[in-house]
């Protein structure tokens, strides 16, 4: 279920800049990934490690619906982490929502659920396997790894996403920009030998982009 209007407004109001509040409200209203994450972890209250968390919106949303036992968001962009921390403080959630400036592959002292949403392709091909292996290391026995990624499959959606990523790089939203778009096989070949069962499904929402959602765990669905 898309976050309701009150939840969207409450979360957006925690950010100081008007433009950010507008963007966040719209993103929560239109992006199906938040409700998909909530559904994937429903009934399993564990801490969540959100790798490449950006502003930490997933943490704000999962906290608002009382789905979490703790949240650690990591991002290597100091500006986004500062904005996310300020918002968490403004909401009185500085203890519940921890945001750290760190590399995506840096080990953290927690095991639970792991989210990797729209991050993988910003790392070069050889570091993507390292990142996926790091995500598995943080997965509790009952934890779920939720990954959303563009998949390189040659479709028109894939080509549209490549164009969008060129734009994102040009405006400087993600310094360095996209490095390598993985195939489904690239992801499976890291996770499956580690005993992780993987399920893929499209999560296009109302966009032309080639976004796929993967939910993975140590137990077959």
Ligand X SMILES: C[S@@+](CC[C@H](N)C(=O)[O-])C[C@H]1O[C@@H](n2cnc3c(N)ncnc32)[C@H](O)[C@@H]1O
- Using the rule CB under 6 A, is 135 a contact of ligand X? no
Contact between 104 and ligand X (CB under 6 A)? yes
Tokens (6 digits) for 210: 């080639």
Judged by CB under 6 A, the number of residues near ligand X is: 16
The H or E element that residue 62 is part of is helix 57-64
CB of 118 to ligand X, least distance (A): 4
Would you state the structure tokens that stand for residue 44, as one six-digit string? Answer: 């399993």
Nearer to ligand X, 8 or 80 (CB): 80
Interior CA angle at 86 toward 169 and 18, to 5°? 65
Site for ligand X in 45-64 (CB under 6 A): 52-54, 57
Contact residue for ligand X among 14, 80, 121, 152 (CB under 6 A):
80
The verdict on 119 binding ligand X (CB under 6 A) reads yes
Q: Does 77 bind ligand X (CB under 6 A)?
A: yes
Question: Residue written as tokens 């968490």?
Answer: 88
- Residues 59/53, Cβ–Cβ less than 8 Å: yes
Task: Give the DSSP H/E element, type plus range, for residue 166.
Answer: helix 156-171
Instruction: Rule CB under 6 A: say whether 37 interacts with ligand X.
Output: no
3-class DSSP state of 216? strand
Cβ at position 67, least distance to ligand X in Å: 16
- Give strand pairing partners of 198: 216
Q: With binding defined as CB under 6 A, does residue 75 bind ligand X?
A: yes
* Minimum CB–partner distance for residue 168 and ligand X (Å): 8
Residue 93 touching ligand X (CB under 6 A): no
- For 209, counting Cβ atoms within 10 Å of its Cβ (0-12 exposed, 13-18 middle, 19+ buried), the class is middle
Asked if 103 is part of the footprint of ligand X (rule: CB under 6 A), the reply reads yes
Site residues for ligand X per CB under 6 A: 52-54, 57, 75-77, 80, 103-104, 117-119, 122-123, 174
């Amino acid at each position: 279920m898309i976050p309701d209007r009150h939840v969207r407004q409450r979360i957006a109001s925690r950010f100081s800049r008007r433009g950010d509040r507008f963007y966040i409200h719209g993103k929560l209203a239109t992006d199906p990934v938040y409700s998909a994450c909530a559904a994937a972890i429903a009934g399993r209250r564990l801490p969540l490690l959100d790798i490449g968390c950006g502003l930490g919106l997933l943490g704000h949303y999962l906290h608002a619906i009382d789905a979490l036992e703790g949240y650690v968001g990591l991002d290597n962009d100091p500006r986004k982490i500062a904005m996310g921390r300020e918002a968490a403080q403004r909401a009185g959630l500085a203890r519940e929502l921890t945001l750290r400036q760190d590399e995506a592959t840096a080990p953290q002292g927690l095991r639970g659920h792991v989210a990797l949403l729209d991050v993988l392709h910003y790392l070069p091909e050889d570091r993507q396997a390292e990142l996926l292996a790091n995500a598995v290391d943080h997965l509790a026995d009952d934890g779920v790894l939720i990954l959303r990624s563009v998949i390189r499959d040659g479709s028109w959606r894939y080509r549209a996403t490549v164009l969008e990523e060129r734009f994102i790089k040009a405006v400087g939203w993600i310094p360095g920009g996209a490095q390598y778009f993985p195939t489904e096989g690239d992801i499976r070949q890291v996770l499956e030998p580690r005993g992780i069962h993987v399920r893929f499904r499209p999560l296009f929402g109302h966009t032309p982009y080639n976004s796929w959602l993967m939910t993975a765990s140590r137990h077959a669905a």
